Amino acid sequence: MNDLLHIGSALFNHIKNNGTIDCYYRKAKQSASVPYCLVYFMTANDDYTFNDKSLNADYVVKVISDKNFPEEAIRLYGDIHEIVQDASLSIPSYNVIRLRRESILEYEDQFHFWNIGGLYNLDITQQ
Amino acid sequence: MAAFSGTAGSVTCHTGGTILSAGISEWSLDGSMSPVETTEFGNTWDTYVPSVRNATGSFSGNKEQADTGQTALMNSFLGGSAIILRLYENATKYWLVGTAYITGMSPTTSVKGKGEISFNWQASGPVTYN
Protein backbone atom coordinates (compact mmCIF):
# COMPACT_ATOMS: atom_id res chain seq x y z
CA MET A 1 0.00 0.00 0.00
CA ASN A 2 2.97 2.35 0.28
CA ASP A 3 2.92 2.50 -3.49
CA LEU A 4 -0.42 4.27 -3.35
CA LEU A 5 0.90 6.75 -0.82
CA HIS A 6 3.84 7.56 -3.07
CA ILE A 7 1.68 7.88 -6.17
CA GLY A 8 -0.99 9.98 -4.49
CA SER A 9 1.66 12.18 -2.95
CA ALA A 10 3.42 12.67 -6.28
CA LEU A 11 0.23 13.62 -8.09
CA PHE A 12 -1.00 15.89 -5.31
CA ASN A 13 2.33 17.69 -4.94
CA HIS A 14 2.63 18.14 -8.69
CA ILE A 15 -0.71 19.95 -8.83
CA LYS A 16 -0.09 21.85 -5.60
CA ASN A 17 3.31 23.08 -6.76
CA ASN A 18 2.25 24.03 -10.27
CA GLY A 19 -1.41 25.02 -9.89
CA THR A 20 -2.85 28.44 -9.18
CA ILE A 21 -5.56 27.41 -6.69
CA ASP A 22 -5.48 25.52 -3.40
CA CYS A 23 -5.28 21.77 -3.74
CA TYR A 24 -6.35 19.07 -1.30
CA TYR A 25 -5.94 15.32 -1.25
CA ARG A 26 -8.95 13.09 -0.50
CA LYS A 27 -10.99 15.89 1.12
CA ALA A 28 -10.69 19.61 1.69
CA LYS A 29 -10.37 21.15 5.12
CA GLN A 30 -13.59 22.55 6.56
CA SER A 31 -12.60 26.18 6.16
CA ALA A 32 -11.35 25.74 2.61
CA SER A 33 -12.29 28.66 0.41
CA VAL A 34 -13.66 27.92 -2.99
CA PRO A 35 -12.63 27.47 -5.68
CA TYR A 36 -10.16 24.71 -4.93
CA CYS A 37 -8.84 21.54 -6.49
CA LEU A 38 -9.48 18.10 -5.04
CA VAL A 39 -7.51 14.95 -5.86
CA TYR A 40 -8.49 11.46 -4.77
CA PHE A 41 -7.77 7.86 -5.58
CA MET A 42 -10.40 5.70 -7.29
CA THR A 43 -9.03 2.28 -8.15
CA ALA A 44 -5.85 0.49 -9.24
CA ASN A 45 -4.97 -2.75 -10.97
CA ASP A 46 -1.73 -4.65 -10.53
CA ASP A 47 -0.11 -6.17 -13.60
CA TYR A 48 2.74 -8.64 -13.16
CA THR A 49 5.50 -10.00 -15.32
CA PHE A 50 7.90 -12.72 -14.17
CA ASN A 51 10.44 -10.11 -13.05
CA ASP A 52 8.56 -6.99 -12.07
CA LYS A 53 5.17 -5.39 -11.79
CA SER A 54 3.16 -2.51 -13.11
CA LEU A 55 0.34 -0.53 -11.61
CA ASN A 56 -2.53 1.04 -13.43
CA ALA A 57 -4.32 3.56 -11.21
CA ASP A 58 -7.25 5.92 -11.67
CA TYR A 59 -7.44 9.25 -9.89
CA VAL A 60 -10.09 11.96 -9.92
CA VAL A 61 -8.87 15.53 -10.24
CA LYS A 62 -11.60 18.14 -10.02
CA VAL A 63 -12.27 21.78 -9.25
CA ILE A 64 -14.96 22.79 -6.77
CA SER A 65 -16.71 26.10 -7.26
CA ASP A 66 -19.69 27.77 -5.53
CA LYS A 67 -20.67 30.00 -8.43
CA ASN A 68 -24.17 29.82 -9.90
CA PHE A 69 -22.81 28.65 -13.22
CA PRO A 70 -19.91 26.27 -13.89
CA GLU A 71 -17.83 28.50 -16.15
CA GLU A 72 -15.34 29.47 -13.44
CA ALA A 73 -14.74 25.85 -12.52
CA ILE A 74 -14.46 24.87 -16.18
CA ARG A 75 -11.83 27.53 -16.78
CA LEU A 76 -9.84 26.65 -13.67
CA TYR A 77 -10.06 22.96 -14.39
CA GLY A 78 -8.75 23.64 -17.89
CA ASP A 79 -5.62 25.10 -16.28
CA ILE A 80 -5.30 22.11 -13.93
CA HIS A 81 -5.70 19.71 -16.83
CA GLU A 82 -2.78 21.33 -18.65
CA ILE A 83 -0.65 20.62 -15.58
CA VAL A 84 -1.77 17.03 -15.09
CA GLN A 85 -2.02 15.68 -18.63
CA ASP A 86 1.18 13.77 -19.52
CA ALA A 87 2.93 15.06 -16.42
CA SER A 88 6.25 13.38 -15.64
CA LEU A 89 5.79 12.50 -11.98
CA SER A 90 8.63 11.23 -9.84
CA ILE A 91 7.54 8.08 -7.99
CA PRO A 92 10.06 6.05 -5.95
CA SER A 93 10.91 2.67 -7.53
CA TYR A 94 8.65 3.25 -10.53
CA ASN A 95 8.89 4.63 -14.05
CA VAL A 96 5.88 6.61 -15.21
CA ILE A 97 4.67 5.31 -18.54
CA ARG A 98 1.69 7.57 -18.96
CA LEU A 99 -0.64 9.93 -17.10
CA ARG A 100 -3.66 10.78 -19.19
CA ARG A 101 -7.28 11.78 -18.77
CA GLU A 102 -9.78 9.08 -19.58
CA SER A 103 -13.03 10.94 -19.05
CA ILE A 104 -14.47 14.27 -17.97
CA LEU A 105 -16.99 14.85 -15.20
CA GLU A 106 -19.29 17.79 -14.52
CA TYR A 107 -22.05 17.94 -11.97
CA GLU A 108 -23.64 20.16 -9.34
CA ASP A 109 -23.69 18.50 -5.93
CA GLN A 110 -26.43 18.68 -3.31
CA PHE A 111 -24.88 21.82 -1.81
CA HIS A 112 -24.98 23.52 -5.24
CA PHE A 113 -21.22 23.38 -5.67
CA TRP A 114 -19.98 22.72 -9.17
CA ASN A 115 -17.65 19.76 -9.54
CA ILE A 116 -15.72 19.93 -12.78
CA GLY A 117 -12.85 17.60 -13.46
CA GLY A 118 -11.60 14.42 -15.00
CA LEU A 119 -10.66 10.82 -14.33
CA TYR A 120 -6.95 10.32 -14.91
CA ASN A 121 -5.24 7.04 -15.57
CA LEU A 122 -1.69 6.62 -14.35
CA ASP A 123 0.34 3.75 -15.78
CA ILE A 124 3.60 3.01 -13.98
CA THR A 125 6.05 0.14 -14.06
CA GLN A 126 8.61 -1.00 -11.53
CA GLN A 127 12.20 0.11 -12.14
CA MET B 1 1.10 -33.41 -5.38
CA ALA B 2 1.06 -29.68 -5.19
CA ALA B 3 0.33 -27.12 -7.79
CA PHE B 4 2.80 -24.31 -8.14
CA SER B 5 2.54 -20.62 -8.70
CA GLY B 6 3.68 -19.17 -12.00
CA THR B 7 5.01 -16.01 -10.39
CA ALA B 8 8.59 -17.34 -10.27
CA GLY B 9 8.69 -18.29 -13.94
CA SER B 10 11.13 -16.79 -16.38
CA VAL B 11 12.64 -17.12 -19.83
CA THR B 12 16.38 -17.09 -20.39
CA CYS B 13 18.26 -17.27 -23.66
CA HIS B 14 21.86 -18.34 -24.00
CA THR B 15 24.05 -16.91 -26.70
CA GLY B 16 27.43 -17.12 -25.03
CA GLY B 17 26.14 -16.42 -21.53
CA THR B 18 22.88 -16.69 -19.67
CA ILE B 19 20.66 -13.72 -20.34
CA LEU B 20 17.38 -13.25 -18.56
CA SER B 21 14.72 -11.85 -20.81
CA ALA B 22 13.04 -9.13 -18.75
CA GLY B 23 9.43 -8.03 -19.03
CA ILE B 24 8.09 -11.45 -19.95
CA SER B 25 4.80 -12.43 -18.32
CA GLU B 26 3.96 -15.76 -19.94
CA TRP B 27 5.49 -18.57 -21.92
CA SER B 28 4.18 -21.75 -23.49
CA LEU B 29 5.66 -24.90 -24.93
CA ASP B 30 3.71 -27.11 -27.31
CA GLY B 31 5.16 -30.56 -27.71
CA SER B 32 3.84 -32.98 -30.29
CA MET B 33 4.56 -36.34 -31.85
CA SER B 34 3.31 -37.79 -35.09
CA PRO B 35 3.05 -41.56 -34.51
CA VAL B 36 3.32 -43.85 -37.53
CA GLU B 37 0.28 -46.00 -38.17
CA THR B 38 0.92 -49.74 -38.29
CA THR B 39 -2.62 -51.02 -38.55
CA GLU B 40 -2.79 -54.35 -40.37
CA PHE B 41 -5.51 -56.58 -41.81
CA GLY B 42 -7.12 -58.35 -38.94
CA ASN B 43 -6.62 -55.53 -36.46
CA THR B 44 -9.77 -54.29 -34.82
CA TRP B 45 -8.09 -51.18 -33.51
CA ASP B 46 -5.65 -48.82 -35.20
CA THR B 47 -2.08 -49.36 -34.03
CA TYR B 48 0.82 -46.96 -34.02
CA VAL B 49 4.50 -46.87 -33.24
CA PRO B 50 6.16 -43.76 -31.85
CA SER B 51 7.96 -41.47 -34.22
CA VAL B 52 9.66 -38.10 -34.19
CA ARG B 53 8.77 -35.43 -31.67
CA ASN B 54 8.54 -31.74 -32.24
CA ALA B 55 8.28 -28.67 -30.03
CA THR B 56 7.24 -25.12 -30.66
CA GLY B 57 6.19 -22.37 -28.33
CA SER B 58 5.92 -18.72 -27.59
CA PHE B 59 6.46 -16.15 -24.89
CA SER B 60 5.35 -12.57 -24.51
CA GLY B 61 5.32 -9.57 -22.23
CA ASN B 62 6.25 -5.93 -22.00
CA LYS B 63 8.66 -4.54 -24.55
CA GLU B 64 11.78 -3.36 -22.77
CA GLN B 65 13.90 -1.32 -25.11
CA ALA B 66 17.15 -1.52 -23.13
CA ASP B 67 16.93 -5.16 -22.07
CA THR B 68 19.82 -7.32 -23.28
CA GLY B 69 17.70 -10.48 -23.24
CA GLN B 70 15.04 -9.09 -25.54
CA THR B 71 17.74 -7.58 -27.73
CA ALA B 72 19.44 -10.96 -28.05
CA LEU B 73 16.14 -12.56 -29.03
CA MET B 74 15.43 -9.89 -31.62
CA ASN B 75 18.93 -10.25 -33.04
CA SER B 76 18.45 -14.00 -33.19
CA PHE B 77 15.35 -13.51 -35.28
CA LEU B 78 16.83 -10.80 -37.49
CA GLY B 79 20.03 -12.74 -38.03
CA GLY B 80 18.42 -16.16 -38.33
CA SER B 81 20.73 -17.59 -35.70
CA ALA B 82 20.00 -20.34 -33.19
CA ILE B 83 19.80 -19.81 -29.46
CA ILE B 84 19.44 -21.96 -26.38
CA LEU B 85 16.24 -21.35 -24.47
CA ARG B 86 15.32 -22.17 -20.91
CA LEU B 87 11.69 -21.85 -19.91
CA TYR B 88 11.57 -21.77 -16.11
CA GLU B 89 8.52 -22.91 -14.19
CA ASN B 90 10.09 -21.65 -10.98
CA ALA B 91 13.59 -20.99 -9.69
CA THR B 92 14.86 -24.54 -10.27
CA LYS B 93 12.67 -26.46 -12.71
CA TYR B 94 12.90 -25.60 -16.36
CA TRP B 95 12.46 -26.84 -19.91
CA LEU B 96 15.67 -26.75 -21.91
CA VAL B 97 15.46 -26.18 -25.65
CA GLY B 98 19.00 -26.95 -26.80
CA THR B 99 18.60 -25.39 -30.22
CA ALA B 100 15.80 -22.97 -30.89
CA TYR B 101 15.04 -20.67 -33.75
CA ILE B 102 12.93 -17.55 -33.28
CA THR B 103 10.31 -18.07 -35.96
CA GLY B 104 8.17 -15.07 -35.24
CA MET B 105 8.42 -11.75 -33.47
CA SER B 106 5.58 -9.28 -32.90
CA PRO B 107 6.38 -5.99 -31.22
CA THR B 108 3.31 -3.81 -30.73
CA THR B 109 2.68 -0.27 -29.60
CA SER B 110 -0.71 1.32 -29.08
CA VAL B 111 -1.59 4.82 -27.98
CA LYS B 112 -3.55 3.63 -24.96
CA GLY B 113 -1.37 0.69 -24.02
CA LYS B 114 2.17 -0.33 -23.24
CA GLY B 115 4.75 -1.46 -25.71
CA GLU B 116 4.55 -5.23 -25.88
CA ILE B 117 6.38 -7.99 -27.68
CA SER B 118 5.85 -11.67 -28.35
CA PHE B 119 8.18 -14.31 -29.76
CA ASN B 120 7.45 -17.66 -31.37
CA TRP B 121 10.12 -20.31 -31.41
CA GLN B 122 10.77 -23.67 -33.03
CA ALA B 123 12.95 -26.33 -31.46
CA SER B 124 15.53 -28.12 -33.58
CA GLY B 125 16.38 -31.33 -31.81
CA PRO B 126 15.39 -32.47 -28.35
CA VAL B 127 13.71 -30.65 -25.52
CA THR B 128 14.44 -31.83 -21.99
CA TYR B 129 12.89 -31.23 -18.60
CA ASN B 130 15.34 -30.41 -15.86
Q: Please name the residue of chain A whose CA is at the shortest distance from the CA of residue B7.
A: A50
Q: What would the DSSP string read from start to end of B63-108?
A: --TT-HHHHHHHHHHHHT--EEEEEESSSS-EEEEEEEEEEEEEEE
Compute the average pLDDT of residues B104-127: 95
Q: Is the peptide bond before A35 cis (omega within 30 degrees of 0)?
A: yes
Pairing mode, if any, of strands B18-20 and A36-48?
A: unpaired
pLDDT exceeds 60 at position A45: yes
Q: How far is A80 from chain B (nearest CA, A)?
A: 22
Minimal Cβ distance to B22: which of A51, A97, A123:
A51
Whether the ipTM is more than 0.90: the answer is no
Question: Chain A residues with CB-CB distance to B under 8 A?
Answer: 48-52, 54, 97, 123, 125
Strands B48-49 and B36-37: antiparallel
Instruction: Give the pLDDT of residue A1.
Output: 56
Domains in chain B: ranges and CATH: 7-34+45-129 (2.30.110.20)
Q: Which of A48, A50, A123 sits opposite B10 (nearest CB)?
A: A50
CA atoms within 13 A of residue A111's CA, in its CB half-sphere: 6
pLDDT over 90 (residue B106)? yes
**Tell me: the pLDDT tens digits for B15-70?**
878 888 899 999 999 999 999 999 999 999 999 999 999 999 999 999 999 999 99
Prediction pTM value? 0.84
Query: Domain ranges in chain A?
Result: 2-126
For B10, which residue in chain A has the nearest alpha carbon?
A: A50
Treating both helix axes as pointing N-terminal to C-terminal, what angle do A71-84 and A2-18 enclose, rounded to 10 degrees?
120
* The CATH number of the domain covering residues in A2-126: 3.30.2000.30
